[in-house]
Structure 1
Amino acid sequence: MKIKAISIFPQLYEPFTQVGVMKMAIDKGILDFEAVNLRDYTHDRHHTTDDIPFGGGAGMMFLPRPLIEALETIDNPAGSWVKIGIAPQGDRFTQRMAEDLAHEERLLFVAGRYEGIDERVMERLDMAISIGDIVLSGGEVASIEIIDAITRLLPGATGNASSTGEESFSSGLLEYPQYTRPRELDGGVVPEVLVSGHHANIARWRREEALRRTLIRRPDLLRDFDLTDQDRKYLSKVLADLRGILD
């Protein structure tokens, strides 16, 4: 997969290419990543990339012309790259979105700054993504989060391919609790089922714990989750226990 990110601070991406999953993917030839300096597409001696917004108001905005020139230069022929803007008004980033994007061949991110991206540039993009209802100094950090989530889904990018399918949101549920040695730590004990060696019981415990955690922390995820009759029975018991505590 090829990924590029347009930014006025391309150096922000460099540390993430030197460690972890991005470095592994790059070293294996699975990921080809480049941070593109937007100032390379300016034509004045000061390499200006911003100006005040029409209509007044605080802050500055990216000039549309350098961004358009960068997009047209990279996305040539037109449509060869999926062009993605990082913006608060974009679609909320999810694991399902990461899985869909991981099947693309070329992704081009635009990391906005200041007060946003000129709407005439946004209209040239294929999609806009938001990582949540928060305000960041720029789109670099948000795009790194998205790129990391996509990269670790690429075949061979991680050391254990099966682990990415068992994590939170991959199944539609939050992940079940995890433990490692020692079995006892400051009074906390690993659940007996996990050291029983009974794989069916372990699988059922993990399923139930994932359901319980999702119900308590992210009940909205259950609306679209395909629950079995056994799942519903277990969740009803959890709800009854919670009501008993609150009564």
Structure 2
Amino acid sequence: MRKFQVITLFPEMLTGVFGSSMMWKAQKEGLVSLETIDLREFGLGPRRQVDDTPYGGGDGMLLMIEPLWKAVAHAKSQDPTAKVVIMTPRGTRWKQSLAQEFSEKEHGYIFICGRYEGYDERIMELVDMELSVGDYVLTGGELPAMTIIDSIVRLLPGVLGGEQSAVIESFSDGETLEFPQYTRPAEFNGLRVPEVLLSGNHAMIAKWRENHSKKAK
């Protein structure tokens, strides 16, 4: 079973995603374990403090090193071989080929979700990978973490169901987008399904699909 652990101040953000659709199915079938670790539980003092002002001045607050370090240590105790991943705009841009690569690994993953103005840089001593989902800034790392986990889990054997489901989709070869698809009825509001798809000629259909796949930008 592949294990995914997410360190976050807002575990409730992940509840809906982890409990729905393919993510729910993957857990039900015993293919993955999806867990959240509440960073607040490792906070300091009676108020369970997890953030503080940055040295050198500046606006905003940073996640403190001690709670983060303890949270990662706890996650590692649950899965010693897991790789630690942190969500950051400076990280490697996530893409389908990476999702495929991650899905083929045997170890689990620990995701650190930043908040506020960031985190104490010393946590990088425990980090194996820095990942980004694009050149923009979000309020926290939860959405990127969920995006990345979803893209990995759906590629695990037995999750999607159909043997070719992940093979024909967009970016499966790293450069093309999936061809247009249609289902019943054959005509709706004067809009018809291309005749070739109704022909039953699999060679012609394969050629049409190849011609209508687009190169990714």
TM range, normalised to the smaller chain?
A: over 0.9
The structure 1 residue matched to 2:153, chosen from 151, 173, 176, is 151
| Alignment equivalent of 1:170, drawn from 146, 149, 172 | 172
Q: Deviations over 1:140-186 (max 9, x none)?
A: 11101111111101111123232122111112211111111111222
- CA drift of 1:79 comes to 5.9
Secondary structure class of the residue paired with 1:143: helix
Q: Contact 1:2 / 1:31 at 8 angstroms: preserved in 2? A: yes
1:19 aligns with 2:6: no
Instruction: State which of 192, 195, 198 in structure 2 corresponds to 1:195.
Output: 198
Listed as ranges, the matches of 1:10-159 within 5 Å are: 10-76=11-77, 80-104=81-105, 105-159=107-161
CA contact under 8 A between 1:72 and 1:78: conserved in structure 2?
no
SS of the equivalent of 2:49 reads coil
Paired with 1:153 and 1:3, the residues of 2 have a C-alpha distance of 14
Moved over 3 A (4+): 76-79
Distance 2:18 2:121 in 1: 31
Structure 2 CA distance, aligned partners of 1:126 and 1:207? 39
Higher RCO, 1 vs 2 (CA within 8 Å, ≥6 residues apart)? 2
The structure with the largest alpha-carbon Rg is: 1
What TM-score results when the alignment is normalised by the length of structure 2?
0.93
Structure 1 residues 12 and 165, CA gap change in structure 2 (3 angstroms): same
Equivalent-residue separation in structure 2 for 1:119 and 1:56 (angstroms): 15
In the TM superposition, residue 122 of structure 1 has moved relative to its aligned partner by 2.2
Corresponding residue pairs, total: 214
Contact 1:112 1:139 in 2 (8 A): yes
| Rounded Cα–Cα distance in structure 2 between residues aligned with 1:14 and 1:161 | 28
More helix by share: 1
1:64-119 CA distance string (max 9 Å, x none) = 11111111232249961110001111100011111111123211100111112222
Q: Distance in 1 between matches of 2:94 and 2:141?
A: 13
Does the CA contact (< 8 Å) of 2:6 and 2:112 recur in 1?
A: yes
Q: Answer 1 or 2: which has greater strand percent.
A: 2
CA spacing shift, 1:77–1:190, aligned 2, 3 Å: closer
Partner of 1:224: none
The alpha-carbon distance between structure 1 residues 52 and 179, as it changes in their structure 2 partners (threshold 3 A), is: same
Unaligned runs of 5+ in 2: none
Partners of 1:24 and 1:158 within 8 A in 2 = no
TM-score by length of 1: 0.82
Structure 1: segments with no counterpart, 5+ residues: 220-247
Identity %: 40
**Contact 2:44/2:50 (<8 A) preserved:** no
Q: Secondary structure of 2:184's partner?
A: coil
Change in Cα spacing, 1:73 to 1:92, as seen in structure 2 (3 Å) is same
